[in-house]
Structure 1
Amino acid sequence: MASTGPGNLKARRDLGDQLRKLRGKRTATSVAAEIGVSPSTVTRTETGERLCTEEYFHTLADALGLAGEKRQALEELAMAVWDADPPWWAKFADVLSANYGALLEYEETALSRRDYQINLVPAHLQTAAYSEAVTAVDFAGLSRDTIDDLVAVRLERQRRVFGGTDPRLEIEAVVTEGVLRWVVGGPVVHREQLARLLEVTELPNVSLRVIPFSAGAGGTYASSFQILSYGGEEPEVVFGQGVSGSTFMNDPREVRRFGRLFATLSKHALSLEDSRALIATIKKDTT
């Protein structure tokens, strides 16, 4: 299943926030015991990670003594979740893992994405040909149709960076020099991808800085990761990449640790201008 349920994440979070306030000083464990669910069901519904079904809503509201206008107002908020149209990626559900679906959902309402990559161009900055080349390698053995669908998903994600959406997604990317030098898809695809990076880094909502090989060990980290931010009081989340796929993290301590890590890695990166100059040099030298 590629999504945690209907309704966008913000709607579920707004509802969950009200449910958490309604619970007051009662523990999740005590509420869970009263309505016959696990404590994690209570807490994950409050954070928006789990869908608040109609049955759960009414059972919880009864247990907490919610009635009258307050119950009606909260139910109207819940109906925004229950009656929502499926997200755009629902049509690709058969090729998306649960983790990928979660990433798409959290990304859809994010305002900014800090992206650290050690081997690949960030997904939002890839050309179609580059995306196809890395998808075919990452998921060897997939059918042509499946590869095409995964590339289509990646390109659709770029809509919030380059399309007419408001607000646009801000991309702050830090990549190693190796990302620029890997000849992915052959020389032609490689040059086109470098040209694409020079093009998109002229946009006000896209920044790309490169950690040169000369930075040494201080400019490297074992795996790629992304930090999604939402503004206001909404908590940031982190997705880390590994051999087994993406790992979701929302523990505040972990999120802060990755924020510090991104800042540290950024200190080893070239300036925006020098990064563009390096990209241009590598493109010129590519044959």
Structure 2
Amino acid sequence: MALAEAQPKRRRRRKSVQRDAVPDWFRRFLALEWDATEIRSYEIDNVPGLLQTEDYARSTITTWEPEADQRLIDRQVETRMDRKVVLKRTGRPSLRLEVVLSEAALRRVQGSYAIMRAQLRHLAASAKRPNITLRILPLDAPDRITMPSPFQLFRLAEQNFSTVYLEDLFGATYLKEADEFTQYSIVFGRLRDAALDPDESRRFLDKMVESYR
């Protein structure tokens, strides 16, 4: 037997593959979010990422990827929490966040009653900040228009740039044409008009907190 054959075969080491917590298609979103001077967001089933508590964020991520390694989930939660810094940035034009949030997102239990109670309290506190406007769109609002999916409108004043962000199971779509942005702006305005005003929305949240006792 040849010496080479007599030697025990070495097992090839598989290269360690680390899955990125931030997919490539979402990196563009993070860049837009960082540079934005205004974000208008319509949400149906979930609290917007910038206004989520850590426990709520962890629950939503785990629900989507129940078999994911805990380290990956931890990195995704950390990324989502780190995004909140844009709401407190200084030395640059501040970010103005305006949200129309469907009542459905408040009634859909994410994680547990305790998680929902803390999340709603966080929403109410966030809504008191001067650069955040939150309006709740009640399920019983009469004659309101309906949208099949959430969307976000980004305006970047320094770059003179605006875009609409849409997300689905396969990634994201960015609508950059002026007429597309205008159409979604009109729709957002109609949803906003049908929603409760900011003071009524905070009182609505306070009542919802009590329902999660």
Q: TM-score per shorter chain, which class?
A: 0.7 to 0.9
Find the counterpart in structure 1 of residue 37 from structure 2.
111
Alignment of 1:50-69 (within 5 A): none
- Point out which structure has higher relative CO (alpha carbons under 8 A, 6+ apart): 2
Sequence identity percentage: 26
Q: Return 5+ residue gaps in structure 1 as ranges.
A: 1-91
Pick closer, same or farther for the CA change 1:251–1:141 going to 2, 3 Å.
farther
Find the counterpart in structure 1 of residue 102 from structure 2.
176
CA contact (8 A) 1:229 1:235 kept: yes
1:236 maps to amino acid: S
From 109, 127, 134, the equivalent of 1:201 is 127
- Partners of 2:201 and 2:145 in 1: how far apart? 14
Q: CA deviation at 1:141?
A: 2.6
Pick closer, same or farther for the CA change 1:165–1:193 going to 2, 3 Å.
farther
Indicate the SS of the match to 1:213.
coil
Matched, 1:246 2:144: no
Higher alpha-carbon deviation: 209-218 or 184-193? 209-218
Matched, 1:263 2:185: no
- Partners of 2:32 and 2:154 in 1: how far apart? 8
CA contact (8 A) 2:41 2:152 kept: yes
Matched, 1:156 2:82: yes
Indicate the SS of the match to 1:95.
coil
Indicate the SS of the match to 1:185.
coil
2:117 maps to amino acid: R
1:87-134 Cα deviation digits (max 9, x unpaired): xxxxx9822222211101111111111010000001110000000001
Q: CA deviation at 1:227?
A: 0.7
Alignment of 1:3-18 (within 5 A): none
Find the counterpart in structure 1 of residue 9 from structure 2.
none
Matched, 1:188 2:188: no
Normalized per residue, the structure richer in strand is 2
CA contact (8 A) 1:174 1:208 kept: yes
Find the counterpart in structure 1 of residue 8 from structure 2.
none
CA contact (8 A) 1:249 1:255 kept: yes
Q: CA deviation at 1:152?
A: 0.9
Runs of 4+ in 1 over 4 A off after TM superposition: none
Indicate the SS of the match to 2:50.
helix
Higher alpha-carbon deviation: 195-204 or 230-239? 230-239
Indicate the SS of the match to 2:144.
helix
Normalized per residue, the structure richer in helix is 1
Alignment of 1:69-80 (within 5 A): none
Q: Return 5+ residue gaps in structure 2 as ranges.
A: 1-17
RMSD (Å) for aligned C-alpha atoms? 1.9
Q: CA deviation at 1:146?
A: 1.0
How many corresponding residue pairs? 196
- Partners of 1:179 and 1:125 in 2: how far apart? 13
